[in-house]
A and B are shown apart, each in its own frame.
Chain A
């Protein structure tokens, strides 16, 4: 038997012990790979996704990697702890530290390779599912599955060294101990933690400071970093210090503490406060990131409403525009190149502002109005009155009041009574149709602008030419002489782009949420072995099955929902900042929906894990 064979047999013959480690590693790889697949997706590489979104995603990928390191480190050290006895035996048999290291490294490489393979396979399957489901949710074309060479390379290139490095690192756990304590294994009771008053106060200060700043301070990059740091430190101290105080208080209340199983779960929480603090901390932060990302992007999406224009493209040229003819031919050329049958209309209209906010409006004569919308014929327009096509409120401003619009003309104001207010006609501006006499009256002293409208079939697919035309006429930012609008671009900006962002937000959210969930899972099932022993001896002295289930339920519920609660609070503050500073209007509605969604998921997860955990306990303790 060679040494690699020994390592291999170790794994294959004791698969159960390695299973948790293997699964959690696979999970980390899977998430990383899925995300990499997404980032390097050809459709997104060539698409219109802007640089910031991309940088954000690359950043998120590295965050995932950092969490993978933590995750794998956590699993491997928990796993090695359960095998201390084995290492003790090997040491007694004369295995040198070098050989032990080789053994662990080999094992880790085997498991690492296996989990990279499973992670990649699982990631591919899940990515397909997620792409399909995601595109269904956000109403866009499903992303195609592709051969992700880059993602593959990065995943393998990053995780294989990680497994090797981590196994070197974890060896310190074994080296630092005497053979005797290795042989005795992991039964080494921990001391009860003593809370420190200064640290507790510091924790409250940090948490309160973070929240307070989020409520009242002006937000720039500096204060955002301060708030984040405060909250993160405060969260950690909250769990490691404040929770001890709460538990101490509970203990001091003897009536409560000495009632039924309370004694068991409170003392257990106290006993594991250190382990729990780390776990709760990570889960809280990760969940808060997930909730905030999803909540923000959900808000972003619900902010946009599509306005349906009658025309596929609109082009408005002022009298100062010298390139009008050139631009018009350019548009026509584009259609011809793509063999698009189009219909062109041309109107002379007045562009002016209205009301105190000077919101732009296009004034059309009744004659032209009928050309655009033949239904106008049925309603006779009274002299001096107008029909308005637009929205009464925009971006929080009231544009129209009391069925009157105040036109801000060049040198005077003019009030026009509105006969009716209808849905918007055009996407460039709101439209006011007035009778011929009024139009002629307004024409004096106001410049006339030329409005071109184009109609053709199959609009949403014409993003390409719309973009080129837009670049040609408007340029990078703004052209004072001309306006241009296209349904395809509108649609892209108001539906597809927010959808894509929401999709990415959901993706990140769910991935982080899954990561938090798997931390919990791993924690529960590494402790299961000890818990079973504990309950077994408790059963001998008369703990009934019902009491055991109750106790386990309480412990699990705390594990699952305490970090969740703090994450909700933190998300609330984060969203509040966004609402105040980011100009988002309905953050809380989408925030609440997001959190409810995650709560539903968490509940489902809790129910599933709980039933399998308790089933396992029952089978072992009360056969």
Chain B
């Protein structure tokens, strides 16, 4: 199958008083329809990697290729268009606008694309039914729970059918029940729509929903684990790698089950 995302020899060096190499020679590919997780201790470079892939930050050297296109070579104006068309984002703190209703938040990417009003309604309806948030569309962000907010954010991220969905700690602000809901939602989208996903997370149980998990330590690829048939076994495998990785103890709090 074709690779949706190719990361080749990616390096990121932060210049400053103390030069800091955040990423060293990261190389991996993500196939179409794959759901991939990125894990690692705090300061390992997960977020930097995500920022480079999401074109928010520029790499010092190396390449990021999404659907055969190299976004870092695009001009500013084209870059915004690229993000809008090819990428979808889910954030830890949801990044929903308080000024808009949930429905308006979801349709925002489409209005920016200048899709006509009828088309917007159809798409919003289809997607919100799928995610089970169609009954709260007229509510405002402060009137719904964290899980509902995150599902709204997911709806917004996939409404324009991006090639790649990027999620940055999507369960970071949620309780375990909401986390489970959100992860199941992501998994469902991945399975039904064959949406390619890359998720950065701390949470081993969230990571266990992925097809494959990449581990980063000190800016370098450390290991990767594929899911077999069983999610529970996969979860245990992830925990094993994490304990070998030896991050901060609180990163592994869930290990002490």
Instruction: Enumerate chain A interface residues (CB-CB to B < 8 A).
Output: 189-192, 254-255, 258-264, 267-268, 270-271, 534, 537-547, 622
A542 CB contact (under 8 Å) in B83, B95, B141: B83
- Alpha-carbon separation in the docked complex, A259 to B80 (Å): 17
A270 adjacent to B99 (CB under 8 Å): yes
A sample of 15 inter-chain contacts (CB < 8 A) reads A264-B97, A264-B108, A267-B100, A271-B99, A538-B108, A540-B56, A541-B84, A542-B80, A542-B84, A542-B85, A542-B87, A542-B112, A544-B77, A544-B84, A622-B76
B54 within 8 A of A: yes
Q: With a CB–CB cut-off of 8 A, which chain A residues contact B156?
A: 541
- Alpha-carbon separation in the docked complex, A192 to B140 (Å): 9
Q: With a CB–CB cut-off of 8 A, which chain B residues contact A271?
A: 98-99
- Alpha-carbon separation in the docked complex, A490 to B49 (Å): 83
B80 adjacent to A543 (CB under 8 Å): yes
Interface residues of B in 187-234 (CB under 8 A from A): none
- Alpha-carbon separation in the docked complex, A539 to B111 (Å): 14
B83 adjacent to A541 (CB under 8 Å): yes
Interface size counted on chain B using CB atoms at 8 A: 34
Q: With a CB–CB cut-off of 8 A, which chain A residues contact B142?
A: 189
- Alpha-carbon separation in the docked complex, A534 to B108 (Å): 13
- Alpha-carbon separation in the docked complex, A514 to B59 (Å): 47
Q: Give, as a whole number of angstroms, the nearest-CB distance from A455 to chain B.
A: 76
- Alpha-carbon separation in the docked complex, A545 to B76 (Å): 8
Nearest 5 interchain pairs by C-beta: A542-B84, A544-B80, A271-B99, A537-B95, A189-B98
Q: With a CB–CB cut-off of 8 A, which chain A residues contact B76?
A: 544-545, 622
A540 adjacent to B98 (CB under 8 Å): no
With A264-B108, A542-B83, A546-B77 given, name 4 new contacts (CB 8 A). Answer: A189-B142, A260-B112, A267-B104, A543-B112
Q: Give, as a whole number of angstroms, the nearest-CB distance from A531 to chain B.
A: 11
B89 adjacent to A540 (CB under 8 Å): yes
Binary flags per residue of B70-106, CB closer than 8 Å to A gives 1, else 0: 0000001100110111011101000101111000100
**Closest residue to B86 on the A side, CB-wise?**
A542
Q: Give, as a whole number of angstroms, the nearest-CB distance from B12 to chain A.
A: 15
A541 CB contact (under 8 Å) in B108, B116, B120, B140: B108
Asked, given contacts A189-B142, A260-B111, A542-B109, whether A268 binds B89 with beta carbons under 8 Å apart, the answer is: no
**Closest residue to B94 on the A side, CB-wise?**
A537
Q: Give, as a whole number of angstroms, the nearest-CB distance from A190 to chain B.
A: 8
B17 within 8 A of A: no
**Interface class of chain B by DSSP:** helix
- Alpha-carbon separation in the docked complex, A543 to B89 (Å): 13
A263 adjacent to B108 (CB under 8 Å): yes
- Alpha-carbon separation in the docked complex, A22 to B98 (Å): 30
B98 adjacent to A544 (CB under 8 Å): no
Q: With a CB–CB cut-off of 8 A, which chain B residues contact A544?
A: 76-77, 80-81, 84
Asked, given contacts A267-B104, A541-B83, A544-B80, whether A189 binds B141 with beta carbons under 8 Å apart, the answer is: yes
B114 within 8 A of A: yes
B100 adjacent to A263 (CB under 8 Å): yes
B140 CB contact (under 8 Å) in A189, A268, A538: A189
**Closest residue to A534 on the B side, CB-wise?**
B97
Interface residues of B in 155-211 (CB under 8 A from A): 156-157
**Closest residue to B120 on the A side, CB-wise?**
A258
Q: Give, as a whole number of angstroms, the nearest-CB distance from A16 to chain B.
A: 21
Interface centre among A259, A260, A261, A540 (most CB of B within 10 A): A540
- Alpha-carbon separation in the docked complex, A546 to B112 (Å): 12
Interface centre among B54, B99, B110, B141 (most CB of A within 10 A): B99
B91 adjacent to A537 (CB under 8 Å): yes
Q: With a CB–CB cut-off of 8 A, which chain B residues contact A538?
A: 97, 108
Q: Give, as a whole number of angstroms, the nearest-CB distance from B88 to chain A.
A: 8
**Closest residue to B76 on the A side, CB-wise?**
A545
Q: With a CB–CB cut-off of 8 A, which chain A residues contact B23?
A: none
- Alpha-carbon separation in the docked complex, A191 to B139 (Å): 11
Q: With a CB–CB cut-off of 8 A, which chain B residues contact A192?
A: 140
Interface centre among A189, A255, A261, A547 (most CB of B within 10 A): A189
Asked, given contacts A541-B156, A545-B77, whether A259 binds B114 with beta carbons under 8 Å apart, the answer is: yes
- Alpha-carbon separation in the docked complex, A261 to B113 (Å): 10
Q: Give, as a whole number of angstroms, the nearest-CB distance from B231 to chain A.
A: 30
B107 within 8 A of A: yes
Q: Give, as a whole number of angstroms, the nearest-CB distance from B240 to chain A.
A: 34
B54 adjacent to A540 (CB under 8 Å): yes
Q: With a CB–CB cut-off of 8 A, which chain A residues contact B85?
A: 542
B249 within 8 A of A: no
Asked, given contacts A189-B142, A540-B54, whether A267 binds B99 with beta carbons under 8 Å apart, the answer is: yes
B19 within 8 A of A: no
- Alpha-carbon separation in the docked complex, A20 to B54 (Å): 35
Q: With a CB–CB cut-off of 8 A, which chain A residues contact B120?
A: 258
Binary flags per residue of B111-148, CB closer than 8 Å to A gives 1, else 0: 11010110010000000000000000000111000000
Q: With a CB–CB cut-off of 8 A, which chain B residues contact A542?
A: 80-81, 83-85, 87, 109, 112
**Closest residue to B54 on the A side, CB-wise?**
A540
Interface centre among A190, A255, A264, A547 (most CB of B within 10 A): A264
Q: Give, as a whole number of angstroms, the nearest-CB distance from A23 to chain B.
A: 28
Q: Give, as a whole number of angstroms, the nearest-CB distance from A148 to chain B.
A: 48
- Alpha-carbon separation in the docked complex, A190 to B109 (Å): 24
Q: With a CB–CB cut-off of 8 A, which chain A residues contact B108?
A: 263-264, 538, 541
Q: With a CB–CB cut-off of 8 A, which chain B residues contact A546?
A: 77
Q: With a CB–CB cut-off of 8 A, which chain A residues contact B117?
A: 254-255, 258
Q: With a CB–CB cut-off of 8 A, which chain A residues contact B84?
A: 541-542, 544
- Alpha-carbon separation in the docked complex, A192 to B104 (Å): 14
Interface residues of B in 234-248 (CB under 8 A from A): none
Q: Give, as a whole number of angstroms, the nearest-CB distance from B64 to chain A.
A: 16
Interface centre among B104, B110, B114 (most CB of A within 10 A): B104
Q: Give, as a whole number of angstroms, the nearest-CB distance from A260 to chain B.
A: 6
B112 adjacent to A261 (CB under 8 Å): yes
Q: With a CB–CB cut-off of 8 A, which chain A residues contact B87?
A: 542
Q: Give, as a whole number of angstroms, the nearest-CB distance from B196 to chain A.
A: 17
B114 CB contact (under 8 Å) in A191, A260, A545: A260
Q: Give, as a whole number of angstroms, the nearest-CB distance from B208 to chain A.
A: 27
**Closest residue to A192 on the B side, CB-wise?**
B140
- Alpha-carbon separation in the docked complex, A17 to B117 (Å): 43
Q: With a CB–CB cut-off of 8 A, which chain B residues contact A539?
A: 80
Q: With a CB–CB cut-off of 8 A, which chain B residues contact A264?
A: 97, 99, 108
Q: Give, as a whole number of angstroms, the nearest-CB distance from A541 to chain B.
A: 6
Q: With a CB–CB cut-off of 8 A, which chain A residues contact B80?
A: 539, 542-545, 547
Q: With a CB–CB cut-off of 8 A, which chain A residues contact B110?
A: 258
Q: With a CB–CB cut-off of 8 A, which chain A residues contact B98?
A: 189-190, 271
- Alpha-carbon separation in the docked complex, A192 to B98 (Å): 10
Interface centre among A192, A254, A263, A543 (most CB of B within 10 A): A263
A540 adjacent to B100 (CB under 8 Å): no
- Alpha-carbon separation in the docked complex, A513 to B116 (Å): 43
B140 adjacent to A540 (CB under 8 Å): no
Q: Give, as a whole number of angstroms, the nearest-CB distance from B137 to chain A.
A: 14
Q: Give, as a whole number of angstroms, the nearest-CB distance from B164 to chain A.
A: 13
Asked, given contacts A189-B141, A189-B142, A546-B77, whether A541 binds B109 with beta carbons under 8 Å apart, the answer is: yes
Q: With a CB–CB cut-off of 8 A, which chain A residues contact B97?
A: 264, 267, 534, 538
A547 adjacent to B111 (CB under 8 Å): no
Interface centre among A268, A534, A539, A541 (most CB of B within 10 A): A541
- Alpha-carbon separation in the docked complex, A270 to B77 (Å): 29
Q: Give, as a whole number of angstroms, the nearest-CB distance from B5 to chain A.
A: 17
**Closest residue to A622 on the B side, CB-wise?**
B76
Q: With a CB–CB cut-off of 8 A, which chain B residues contact A534?
A: 97
Q: With a CB–CB cut-off of 8 A, which chain B residues contact A541?
A: 83-84, 88-89, 95, 108-109, 156-157
A258 adjacent to B107 (CB under 8 Å): yes
Q: With a CB–CB cut-off of 8 A, which chain A residues contact B88?
A: 541
**Closest residue to A251 on the B side, CB-wise?**
B104
- Alpha-carbon separation in the docked complex, A538 to B95 (Å): 8
